[in-house]
Amino acid sequence: MSNYQLLLFDLDGTIVNSMYDIGDAMNHTFRTFGKNEIPYSDIPAMVGGGIRKLLVDAFGEQADIDEIHHIFYQYYSEHYVDKTRAYLGVTSALEQLEGIKKGIYSNKPHRYTQGIIEKLALKKYFIYVQGARPELYPTKPNPAGILYALDELGIAPKHTLFIGDSTHDIQAGKAAGTGTCAVTYGYRSPQVLSAEKPDFMIDDLSELVKIVQ
């Protein structure tokens, strides 16, 4: 038996594919400010560090990011589950993992993290759902959000496996002292993820069953 008492998952690129709704909100924002739209294929490389960082990268630090941020979320708040769906096989894998506690920790704002889990009928699989809450902790790769979640749950880092699709996820998990597992079907390539030396790399969420047994 493994020593893991909790599987803590990233959301975007790990549990759900949200790039189409993020892309639509980005392109709405670009149109509003007179910039050229971008293809959906550009979105995966842009996400992972939180939307504010994404907008700073796109518009530059000299732009009025607060106004741009407002326009983005004005649109996104009405469309964030138009096209977002759980990845194929995720729900069946979560059902197979019913014997172990599971939670979500995302850099997506807390409101939308909770909203996606609820609107996609995934809430029953998780005992804890947490998004970005800048008033309490900085976003990944800082480990503070993971440690906050584990303190809330009363579970030690050494008994936790953090699963995500980005370098931020692996770096945050390592810094927090959890086990780390990279998924290769999300927003980063296996080569990029492998360079972070996660404890495990999987191509399908069902592979977690063998890891935790």
Q: At what angle do helices 19-32 and 65-79 cross, to 10 degrees?
A: 130
CA distances from 108 to 50, 88, 126, 131, 159 (A): 6, 21, 17, 5, 25
Rounded CA gap, 20 and 67, in Å? 22
Rounded CA gap, 104 and 114, in Å? 9
Q: How many helices (H) and strands (E) does the chain have?
A: 9, 8
Q: Is 10 a catalytic residue?
A: yes
Task: Please pick, among 10, 12, 21, 169, the residue that the annotation labels catalytic.
Answer: 10
Question: Known catalytic residues?
Answer: 10
